[in-house]
Amino acid sequence: MHSIAIAGMGRMGGNMARRLLAKGIKPVVWNRDTAKLPRLEAAGAVTAKTLTELVLKMKAPRAVWMMLPSGEPTETLFLGLLSLLEKGDVIIDGANGNWNDAVRRAKKASETGIDFLDAGVSGGIWGLENGYCIMTGGPKPVFEKAEPFIKALCQDGGYMNCGGPGAGHFAKMVHNGIEYAMMEAYGEGFDLLHASPFGEIDMAGLASVWNRGSVIRSWLLELAQNAFDKDPKLENLSGIVPDSGEGRWAVEEAVRLGVPLPAISTSLFKRFRSQMKDNFGDRLSAALRREFGGHGVEERMKDEG
Catalytic positions, please? 172, 179
User: Are 40 and 47 contacting, i.e. CB atoms less than 8 angstroms apart?
Assistant: yes
Alpha carbons within 13 angstroms on the beta-carbon side of residue 76 total 8
- Nearest 5°: phi and psi at 134? -130, 130
